[in-house]
Amino acid sequence: MGSLRPGRVGSALRDRYEGSLAQDLMKALRAAEFGNRIILFGAAMLLSVLPMIILLSALASSRVDDDISQHLGLSNQGSRIVSGLFRTSSASVSPAVLLSLVLSLAGTIAVARSVQVIYEQAFEQSNGPGVRNLLRCAVWVAGVAGLLIADAAMGRALRDGPAGPVVLGLVEFAALALFFWWTLHFLLGGREPWRRVGPSAIATALFWIGLGVFASFYFSSTIVSDSRLYGTIGVVFSLMTWFIAIGAVITLGAVVGVVWEQRSNARHHRIKGGSRRDGRHDTSVREGNRPDPAN
């Protein structure tokens, strides 16, 4: 047998790529500006959301580093390093603290708006500016806060059970799927039906669970290594990586769900169209085999 020519191999690969799932995903990711969106999301999280969480935790005399370590799946050494980033003393209300809270809240709403833009691009919807839309983003931020509180409570209640990790994973997946189902429909202003945003919600929940598994293997050693090499700023680099990964999960979940739903509809229409053509063909054959009444 002769060897395959490189040109033929390349042509065969291009033919397989045309119209494939991979091509549809790449087109959708380019349309959603995947790289730019996840970097901007990670930067906004680091500059706005994390400071607000730290300020609120200080005012409430509680620790935020425990929750971060839990979500990153850090080892004891990694948890101690993250704990060194945060003050344990409570903060008093002052004009400077109030100003910081206002600025952080504005930045957090901007993060919510960035998530909304990701969804609008993924579903090819127009932007929704205006005061009503800002209120929608503020309500979503409150919903995220409620989810984090419920997640922390569920983690403490289920983690120590005999089948803790498995049960916790299933409960988290169900809760995340429902939350992102509501998030997609709510941030899009109800312009997309519940049925169409369902695949994106399921995909996002799966990617989120996958990120948690990946983080438990990756971030412990990375935080320890970055802390030794760069000091405190190295830990900030690791947190920035985590925030960018969250942006990637949100964007990928939306895009994969849209492509999944579009390809499923296209396959359904092809099957339905093929059935109709077969039915017409069978009818014509039967009519052609009928005896001529004139004979």
Per-residue pLDDT of the chain (295 residues; tens, 9 = 90+): 445 566 666 677 776 767 777 888 888 888 888 888 999 898 888 888 777 777 666 655 556 666 777 777 777 887 888 777 765 555 566 677 677 778 888 888 889 999 999 999 999 888 876 788 888 999 998 888 888 777 777 766 666 666 566 777 788 899 999 999 999 999 998 899 999 999 999 999 999 999 988 888 888 888 888 888 888 788 888 888 899 999 999 999 999 999 988 888 877 777 766 555 555 555 554 555 555 555 4
Cα gap 259→25, rounded to integer Å: 7
List of long-range contacts for 169-176, beta carbons under 8 Å, 24+ apart: 169/209, 172/209, 172/212, 173/205, 173/206, 173/209, 175/147, 175/150, 175/151, 176/204, 176/205, 176/208, 176/209
277 is a domain residue: no
Alpha-carbon distances, residue 127 vs 39, 137, 247 (angstroms) = 20, 13, 19
Confirm if 154 and 171 have CB atoms less than 8 A apart. Answer: yes
278 is a domain residue: no
pTM summary value = 0.80
Q: Helix crossing, 194-230 with 76-83: angle to 10°?
A: 80
Closest-CA residue to 39 (of 253, 247, 249) = 247
Q: Which domain, by its residues, includes 260?
A: 33-84+91-266
281 is a domain residue: no
Place of tokens 């049960």: 167
Closest-CA residue to 175 (of 212, 205, 213) = 205
20 is a domain residue: no
Cα gap 152→72, rounded to integer Å: 13
Q: The tokens of 213 are what? A: 């598994």
Cα gap 266→261, rounded to integer Å: 9
202 is a domain residue: yes
Counting the structural domains of the chain, the total is 1
Confirm if 106 and 175 have CB atoms less than 8 A apart. Answer: no
6 is a domain residue: no
103 is a domain residue: yes
227 is a domain residue: yes
